[in-house]
Amino acid sequence: MRIVFMGTPEFAVPSLEALLKSEHQVVGVVTQPDRPKGRGQTLAPPPIKNVAQRAGIPLLQPVKIKTPEFLAALAAWKPDLIAVTAFGRILHAPILSLPPMGCVNVHGSLLPKYRGAAPVQWAVINGETETGITTMLMDEGMDTGPMLLQGRLPILPDDTAGTLAPRLAELGGRLLVETVAQLQAGTLIARPQDHSQATMAPLLKKEDGLLDWRLGAKALADRVRGLSPWPGAYTFHGQERWNIWNAAAVQEPTQDVPGTIIGVTKQSLRVATGHGTLELLEIQTASAKRMSVGQFLAGHRISPGERLGASDA
């Protein structure tokens, strides 16, 4: 089949690479425009652009997708099917109806759970022990179309969003190729989602990283994992921001005010929460690199009774 692929970040790369290794012809790739990145704010290409250019595939980077010009360029490729993985924009009806076999999306959750832009992060934040990939026929809603295939993956106790995403992305590539094969063979029946069971996974913002110490220790530990590597979990010690990169829930009851440092050892800090104690294991201050709490404490004097929370500034 003639396939157009639409995707942008690293998560989409295994899907495109799997299609390139298949018997089908990827006739074009659509990705987001280059964006400023890093301290120098120099323009950087999306990962999918690099793959497409290495493979010599025609590439479009539209600023807007609701234009006659973009639709005409897409139609000129004469796709039988459009495959989408983490493209980053909602496709409207003229695009969805363009390919005869429709538009297939690779989504990083077991739909109808975790519809939206950050399904991997929210599954970890919410303490799930299993997630997966769903391929679906796209409609104009936010991940609301009928489902095609699903594959499951365990979320390991020490997984972060950053360690889980590559495994899901690889599964997504395999499942996409299998979905296309079954669609072509006519053996795949789309199943409508049970919308009453739907949950949302909205895009995360930087301010979502601020830890609320009134939550329980388990919820805070899961949040630290789910927010890594972006936007990152953080708290304040006075006016100094601490990024928290690794923490563990300890079933140690405490009557102290949430956010109070209740224990200091050579290797960790224990902080009171709304339920139980959170042991901080790896942190980063504004002027330093990531380090173990043991390394941090070698150069900083922290005492029980001190408080963590919102900035005093």
pLDDT value, residue 286: 87
Enumerate the CATH 3.40.50.170 domain ranges in the chain, comma separated.
Answer: 2-197
Enumerate the CATH 3.10.25.10 domain ranges in the chain, comma separated.
Answer: 206-299
pLDDT value, residue 312: 59
CA distance 259 to 292: 20
Q: Write out the DSSP string of 123-145.
A: HHHTT-SEEEEEEEE--SSSS-S
CB atoms within 10 A of CB 192: 10
CA distance 161 to 300: 30
Q: What is 206-299's CATH superfamily?
A: Formyl transferase, C-terminal domain (3.10.25.10)
CA distance 187 to 243: 50
Do 239 and 285 form a contact (C-beta atoms < 8 A)? no
Do 139 and 102 form a contact (C-beta atoms < 8 A)? no
The CA–CA distances, whole Å, from 205 to 87, 118, 155 equal 19, 11, 23
pLDDT value, residue 311: 74
pTM over 0.85: yes
Do 11 and 89 form a contact (C-beta atoms < 8 A)? no
pLDDT value, residue 252: 86
Do 238 and 249 form a contact (C-beta atoms < 8 A)? no
pLDDT value, residue 112: 98
Q: Beta partners for 5?
A: 29, 83
Torsion angle in degrees (nearest 10) through CA of 282, 285, 290, 294? -50
pLDDT value, residue 154: 98
The pair of three-digit structure tokens given for residue 299, joined into one six-digit string: 């150069």
Q: Write out the DSSP string of 249-301.
A: EE-----SPTTBEEEE-SS-EEEE-SBSEEEEEEEEETTS--EEHHHHHHH--
Torsion angle in degrees (nearest 10) through CA of 48, 49, 52, 57? 130
The pair of three-digit structure tokens given for residue 262, joined into one six-digit string: 């209740």
Do 297 and 257 form a contact (C-beta atoms < 8 A)? no
CATH code of domain 2-197: 3.40.50.170
Do 280 and 294 form a contact (C-beta atoms < 8 A)? no
Burial of 128 (0-12, 13-18, 19+ CB in 10 A): middle
Task: Give the mean pLDDT per block of 10 residues along the chain (313 residues).
Answer: 98 98 98 91 95 98 97 98 97 97 98 98 98 98 97 98 98 98 96 98 97 97 98 96 97 93 95 97 93 95 95 60
Burial of 164 (0-12, 13-18, 19+ CB in 10 A): buried
